[in-house]
Structure 1
Amino acid sequence: MPDLSTSPLKIPRSRDDDYSATAIAARRELVRTHTQSALDHVGSHSLDPTTLPGNIENFVGVAQVPIGLAGPVLVNGEHAQGEFLVPLATTEGTLVASYSRGMKLCRDAGGITTTVLDDRMQRAPVFSFGSAREAKAFSTWLEENFEPIAAAAEATTSSGKLVEIQQFSVSKLLYTRFNYTTGDAAGQNMTGKATFAACAWIKQNYPGELHFLLEGQFATDKKTSVVNMLHTRGKRVVAEITLPAALVEEQMNVSTDKLWAARLRGQLGAVMSVTNNNGNHSANGITALFIATGQDVANVAESSALYGFSELLPNGDLYTSVTLPSLIVATYGGGTGLATQRECLEIMDCYGAGKVHKLAEIIAATVLAGELSLGSAVVAEEWVQAHDDLGRNRP
């Protein structure tokens, strides 16, 4: 336990260079002195601390999460085309094996077709007025002045574009969603800065009185929500495949009609529990990919939302798809440029400019493969045995 019996602890920091060996060593010494941990493994890494400003504060070391390769997954996408090895960072036994199993099924069926349907990132200011009628007048003015508002927002960024301002009125308040495209960046910070500039222009130029909060909790940043599932946050991407009945029976030990019947029961369970998706475990693959590739892992709260749809065809084959309506990913900026994260992106040829839609399609294909594998294991009553065989690391 930490020793707090003397003076309060203070984490050492350096005003000159907080990522220097001296500053890092001082923080590790604090841990050694006041706790039972010596940070022998946390402090052992190949990462260059000078690359970390903007990514971490009070740096002491790294969390080493095992990375396994799943796949290859065969993707017939608009942006991702061909076979890809998929790096998954996880400590959950059976996960990589399960995704690989689903990927093999889909590969033998001809591959997964992927399509990016929409791309937008939001900041959601709320504007306050003295009455509902004043809010209504502002709503009209906002529509009429979209172009100069967009110009003010876009002056803060080289890649962000304001494409739409959605409006939602309630009482004497107007909730808005400023929708942007953000290039290869995830864009939360970018849209915050751009929207603040837009709101400053609005406040200066609107002839009436108004007050605003830059975020009215209607972008639901890092929280799952119906509004983002319906209107998109990040990338809206579909992965779909038609599976021959004989192939499913051969590889998954289950018939397509039983998979279809399980889907119907799962649909009802999802409705009853009011979950953010009607699938099996979308967060598993997404989280493992996010950790491996330097995404903001908290965005799994939104990105794991999923609409699953399946159809048993007259000949017994099974059409199945997943739609990820709020997948927030980047191939540039944030944690994507750090050493190990960049290497994992490069495994899929997804690092850098012009690659974000490709990454989104690979993630969607990975999710679909995982849904099929786990769903089949549950129906075939192999789920528990698989975890017993591969997921236990204690005698």
Structure 2
Amino acid sequence: MSKHEQFVTGIPSSWVGPIRISGNAIDEEIKVPLATYETPLWPSVGRGARVSRLVEGGIRATVVDERMTRSSLFIARDAAHAYEAMSRIREREAELHEVVTAQSRFARLIEIHEEIVGNLLFIRFAFTTGDASGHNMVTQAADSLMNLILSWDLGLEYGSVSGNFCSDKKATSVNGILGRGKRVVAEILIPHDIVESKLRSTAQQITDIVVRKNLVGSTIAGAVRSANAHFANMLLAFYLATGQDAANIVEGSQGIVYAENREEGLYFSCTLPHLIVGTVGNGKDLEQVEDALQKLGCREPREPGANARRLAAMIAATVLCGELSLLAAQTNPGELMRSHVALERGERN
């Protein structure tokens, strides 16, 4: 078998910020790395970052949950036998937890969900995976769990180690409902005068466009648990700069923007239900990625999972910066296109 010819693709990259972030995973001002061919993204995120530094506490990012999943597929004779087998598996669930703990320093089984479709039994295993995003870790764990379950002679046959009920790199509802990756909410309360002077808009205008564009527009488009303007732009740029599996922007960009015009100012939030990111594992050994993670403070000796939560919080805050800036621009006729033209011409000259 011939070896693949490897080469390196250069992507324009820049450190943007600093962004003021607080919350349960990070509390500081920090610059973030963004790798993108759409370079107007840098000043757009930069505008949101400037706003964050003018607000006490900046952007508050709360990591609400974390897990990685793998759904295994078993084949039974019929639905009745699948149901009976699952009942027996539930009775011996403690043994499943033990086999995962025994084989891994970091993987821990935390939850099981099942679906029976005809004679097919799907079991969705959820794990914590420390600082790794956990793709390979949960596949290895699922292999061991399947072998154990099949050894119990429940009348089940092997279907697949991954049955798509996980669900990996696909736009589905299950990840938002049951969780996959880091669930993070980023939010900020911006005084009215800052909205007007720095975003050239008003709290009411931005609240209106969130409802009309993101919520209603996404609904009539048939979006799947998603109501945002361009989460994917910031996610891809951050993922590429920090060695993440970039294909995970498919589910990562399923998120919801919510805003309110309050007496104190504009309340603006971005909820990202399934950020699949890690600070160790595949892609993290590249020199430029290692350098970025070092500068982000994600190589510190913390408890397992803390560095990955820190990274997830920074990503969510970056998404908010870009989303806020773009939506504010779109409240003014022509501003979005004028900005792109000005920035792109400036780069060429």
TM-score (norm 1): 0.83
Aligned partners of 1:132 and 1:171 also within 8 Å:
yes
Whether the 8 Å contact between 1:89 and 1:289 is mirrored in structure 2 is yes
Q: 2:267 aligns with which of 319, 322, 330?
A: 319
1:100 is matched with which residue?
Answer: 46
C-alpha displacement of 1:316: 6.0
Extract unaligned runs of 5+ from structure 2: none
Map Cα deviations across residues 52-95 of structure 1 (whole Å, 9 max, x no partner): xxxxx532x31111211111000012111100101111111311
1:215 to 125, 149, 162: 162
Is it true that 1:91 corresponds to 2:43 in the alignment?
no
Quote the offset at 1:166 in angstroms.
0.7
User: Does residue 233 of the first structure (1) align with residue 186 of the second (2)?
Assistant: no
AA partner of residue 146 (structure 1): E
SS state at 2:322 partner: helix
Tell me if the contact between 2:108 and 2:128 (Cα under 8 Å) persists in the aligned partners.
yes
1:117 is paired with a residue of what secondary structure? Answer: strand
- Cα distance in 1 for partners of 2:157, 2:84 equals 11
Give yes or no for contact 1:331–1:352 (8 Å, CA) kept in 2. Answer: no
Structure-1 residue corresponding to 2:253: 304
Structure 2 residue 69 is the aligned partner of structure 1 residue 122: yes
Which residue of structure 1 lines up, in the alignment, with residue 237 of structure 2?
A: 288
- Structure 1 residue 351, shift from structure 2 partner: 2.9
> Is the 8 Å Cα contact of residues 150 and 198 (structure 1) preserved in structure 2?
no
In structure 1, the partner of 2:337 is: 384
- SS for the counterpart of 2:183 is strand
Give me the identity figure in percent.
35
Kept in 2, the 8 Å contact 1:129–1:211? The answer is no
- Distance of aligned partners of 1:82 and 1:209 in 2 relative to their CA distance in 1, 3 Å threshold: closer
Task: Write the deviation string for residues 223-275 of structure 1: whole angstroms up to 9, x where unpaired.
Answer: 12111112111100110111111110011111111111111111110001122
* Whole-Å separation in 1 of the counterparts to 2:337 and 2:153: 62
Q: How does 1:123-272 map to 2 (within 5 A)?
A: 123-266=70-213, 267-272=215-220
RMSD: 1.6
Equivalent position of 1:64 in the other structure: 10
Cα distance in 2 between the residues matched to 1:209 and 1:328: 31
Contact 1:219 1:228 in 2 (8 A): yes
Q: Which amino acid aligns with 1:350?
A: C
| 3-state DSSP of counterpart to 1:125 | strand
What's the TM-score, normalizing by structure 2?
Answer: 0.93
1:273 pairs with 2:221: yes
The range that moved more, 210-219 or 195-204, is 210-219
Question: Displacement, 1:156?
Answer: 2.7
Q: Which residue matches 1:20?
A: none
With over 3 angstroms needed to count, the CA separation of the structure-2 counterparts of 1:303 and 1:209, relative to structure 1, is: closer
CA distance in 2, matches of 1:383, 1:285: 17
State the Cα distance separating 1:138 from its structure 2 match: 1.1
* 1:370 maps to 2:313: no
What's the CA shift for 1:155? 2.9
Question: 1:326-341 residue pairs with structure 2 within 5 A?
Answer: 326-341=274-289
- In structure 2, C-alpha distance between the alignment counterparts of 1:257 and 1:109, rounded to whole Å: 19
Larger Rg: 1
Report 1 or 2 for greater relative contact order, CA contacts < 8 Å, sequence distance ≥ 6: 2
Q: What secondary structure, in the 3-state scheme, does the structure 1 residue paired with 2:292 have?
A: helix
SS at match of 1:206: coil
For the pair 1:356 / 2:308, whether they are aligned, the reply is yes
